[in-house]
C-alpha cells in the first residue's frame, strides 16, 4: 500500500512492489479521478527523487515499501483545471493530457500519442523535424490522374516519410529516426502503446524474491535474451565536412609517418533534405587527442585537455559528433594508391572498431522525450578512412545499432584475436550475468525429387 499526496488530497494505492512504475502511474490516475493535468511523482516532499514512468524499472528499484508516501506534483506550466459551462449552466472539467497518454495531438509532432517526457532537452535539429509535416509531395501524374489541378488521388497524394517503395527508389536502406517515430504513431492507436525503451543486459536491482546473483535469478529481474536483428532506422543519415582541407590535414600525419591516426569530429547536426526527416552531421573541426600509433594500431592516451576543447567548441556552437580513424596501407607510392581490403568478402568494420563505436555512442546518448529514460540511441558517428575498390583514399560513415551499443555498454561483447571480423559474446560468471545472444541464419535445402529449394530460418546462439 502506498499513500499518494497531491493538491487534490491524499489517496491510497494497492500495488506489488515488483511491477513496473508505468502501472503505478495508471493506478494513481485511476485513484484521482479529478486529475486532468500532466503530473510527476516524487519519492520525497522536496522533489529530490523523481519516479519516472517506465516499462523496465520496478517500484523496488526506487526503494518503495509498504506504507510509504509519494508526492504528486503538476508539471510546471500545466493547467490543472480547464472549466467550460455545460448546457445546464454547471461547470464541467475537460480532460487534457497526462504523462501516460497524450489525448490531444502535440504541436511538436502532428498526431502523436507516444508517451512523452516534457523535461528532456532535445537537440535543436530534432525539435525542428518534429514541427515539420514530413510528407513527400508529389506532382499530378498526367497519365494516371484524371482530376483537375485542385484535386488529388492515390497517384498524387503525399507519401509518408517512411514509405518503403519511395525509400527504395532513393536507394535508402534505413529510414531516418524521426520518420520511424512517425511510423510508430501512424496506426489507429496513434502510437499509444509504442515502446522506446533502451535495451538492458543487466539484472534488474531490488528483486527481493531470491538471493542475489549468482545464488538466484528470476524472470522478473533476468534480462531478456537478445536476438540480433537489422535496425530499420538510423539516427544520422549523412556526414559531410565543411572544408576538404580538414581531411587533408588529418591525413598528413599518415602520409609523413605511415602510422594510423584517430581524431574526434566537432560540428553540428542539421536537417538533411535528401532523406525524409533526415539528419546530417556537418564537421567543422577535427581534434587529434594524445595517442600512440603504429602502422596497424592506435592507442588513445589520457587527455587532460578534453574538457577545455569541449568548452571551447561549445562557445563556437559546436559539439563532438563523432570520431574518425585511418586504416591505410600504401600500395604504389608513386601513384598515390592504397590497398583495398575492406569489402563484403572480408569486413567493413572490425569487431574492435564496432566495440569502440558502441563505447563512444554510449558516452554520447541521444536525448529523446519519447523514451522513459530521457534518451534513446546515439547520434555519434564513426568515419573510417581506407582504400576503395579503385585503390583510392576513401571515407565511409557508420553507426552501430542500439543492440550493439547495449552489448558493449554492459560488457557482453569482446573482439576476437584471430578473426577481426568476428566478435565474441561472453559467458556468465559468478560476478556478472550475461544474457543469451542469438542470431538468425538461413539454410537452403533442395527437395527430394524436385528442382525447387526450401529456405529454413534458424536461430543460433553466439
pLDDT in tens, the chain (462 residues): 888 888 777 888 888 888 888 888 888 888 887 666 677 888 888 777 888 888 788 888 888 888 888 888 876 544 443 333 334 443 333 323 333 333 333 334 554 555 565 578 889 999 999 888 888 888 888 888 888 777 888 888 888 899 888 899 888 889 999 999 988 887 666 666 567 888 888 888 888 888 888 888 888 888 888 888 889 999 999 999 999 899 999 999 999 999 999 999 999 999 999 999 999 999 999 999 999 999 989 999 999 999 999 999 999 999 999 999 999 998 888 888 999 989 888 999 999 999 999 999 999 999 998 888 889 999 999 999 999 999 999 999 999 999 999 999 999 988 988 888 888 888 888 888 888 888 877 666 555 555 556 555 555 555
pLDDT in tens, 136-163: 888 888 888 888 777 888 888 888 899 8
**177: which DSSP letter?**
H
CATH H-level, domain 233-460: superfamily: Cytidine Deaminase, domain 2 (3.40.140.10)
Q: Are 199 and 126 in contact (CB under 8 A)?
A: no
What is d(CA 283, CA 442) in angstroms, rounded to the nearest whole number? 40
CATH architecture designation of domain 2-74: Roll (3.10)
Global model pTM greater than 0.85:
no
Distances (CA, A) of 239 to 129, 354, 399: 18, 18, 11
Residues near 264 by beta carbon (within 8 Å), at least 6 away in sequence: 286, 287, 288, 289, 320, 322, 323, 324
Domain parsing of the chain, residue ranges:
2-74, 233-460
Please tell me the predicted confidence (pLDDT) of residue 209. Answer: 82
Amino acid at each position: 500500500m502506498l499513500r499518494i499526496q497531491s493538491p487534490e488530497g491524499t489517496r491510497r494505492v494497492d500495488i506489488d512492489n515488483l511491477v513496473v512504475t508505468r502501472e503505478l502511474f495508471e493506478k494513481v490516475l485511476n485513484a484521482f479521478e479529478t486529475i486532468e493535468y500532466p503530473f510527476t511523482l516524487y519519492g520525497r516532499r522536496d522533489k529530490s527523487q523523481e519516479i519516472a514512468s517506465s516499462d523496465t524499472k520496478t517500484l523496488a528499484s526506487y526503494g518503495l515499501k509498504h506504507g510509504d508516501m509519494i508526492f504528486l506534483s503538476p508539471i510546471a506550466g500545466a493547467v490543472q483545471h480547464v472549466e467550460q459551462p455545460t448546457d445546464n449552466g454547471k461547470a464541467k472539467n475537460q480532460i487534457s493530457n497526462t504523462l501516460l497518454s497524450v489525448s490531444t495531438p502535440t504541436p511538436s509532432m502532428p498526431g502523436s500519442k507516444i508517451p512523452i517526457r516534457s523535461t528532456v532537452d532535445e537537440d535543436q535539429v530534432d525539435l525542428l523535424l518534429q514541427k515539420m509535416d514530413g510528407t513527400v509531395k508529389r506532382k499530378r501524374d498526367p497519365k494516371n490522374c484524371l482530376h483537375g489541378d485542385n484535386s488529388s488521388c492515390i497517384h498524387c497524394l503525399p507519401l509518408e516519410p517512411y514509405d518503403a517503395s519511395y525509400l527504395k527508389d532513393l536507394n535508402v536502406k534505413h529510414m531516418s529516426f524521426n520518420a520511424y517515430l512517425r511510423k510508430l504513431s501512424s496506426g489507429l492507436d496513434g502510437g499509444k502503446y509504442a515502446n522506446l525503451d533502451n535495451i538492458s543486459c543487466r539484472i534488474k536491482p531490488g528483486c527481493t524474491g531470491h538471493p542475489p546473483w549468482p545464488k538466484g535469478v528470476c524472470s522478473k529481474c533476468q534480462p531478456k535474451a537478445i536476438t540480433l536483428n537489422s535496425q530499420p532506422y538510423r539516427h544520422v543519415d549523412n556526414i559531410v565536412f565543411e572544408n576538404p582541407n580538414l581531411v587533408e590535414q588529418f591525413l598528413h600525419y599518415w602520409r609523413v609517418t605511415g602510422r594510423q591516426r584517430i581524431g574526434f569530429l566537432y560540428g553540428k547536426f542539421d536537417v538533411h533534405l535528401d532523406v525524409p526527416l533526415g539528419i546530417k552531421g556537418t564537421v567543422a573541426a577535427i581534434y587529434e587527442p594524445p595517442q600512440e600509433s603504429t602502422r596497424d594500431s592506435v592507442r588513445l592516451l589520457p587527455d587532460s585537455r578534453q574538457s577545455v576543447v569541449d568548452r571551447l567548441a561549445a562557445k563556437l556552437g559546436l559539439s563532438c559528433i563523432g570520431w574518425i580513424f585511418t586504416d591505410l596501407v600504401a600500395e604504389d607510392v608513386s601513384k598515390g594508391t592504397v590497398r583495398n581490403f575492406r569489402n563484403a568478402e572480408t569486413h567493413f568494420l572490425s569487431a574492435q572498431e564496432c566495440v569502440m563505436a558502441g563505447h563512444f555512442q554510449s558516452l554520447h546518448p541521444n536525448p529523446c522525450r519519447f523514451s522513459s529514460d530521457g534518451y534513446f540511441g546515439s547520434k555519434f558517428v564513426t568515419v573510417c578512412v581506407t582504400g576503395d575498390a579503385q585503390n583510392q583514399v576513401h571515407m565511409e560513415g557508420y553507426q552501430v545499432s542500439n543492440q550493439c551499443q547495449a552489448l558493449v555498454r554492459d560488457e557482453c561483447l569482446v573482439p576476437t584475436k584471430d578473426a577481426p571480423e568476428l566478435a565474441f559474446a561472453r559467458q556468465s560468471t559468478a560476478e556478472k550475468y550475461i544474457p543469451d545472444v542469438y542470431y538468425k541464419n538461413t539454410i537452403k535445402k533442395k527437395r527430394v525429387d524436385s528442382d525447387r529449394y526450401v529456405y529454413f530460418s534458424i536461430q543460433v546462439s553466439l
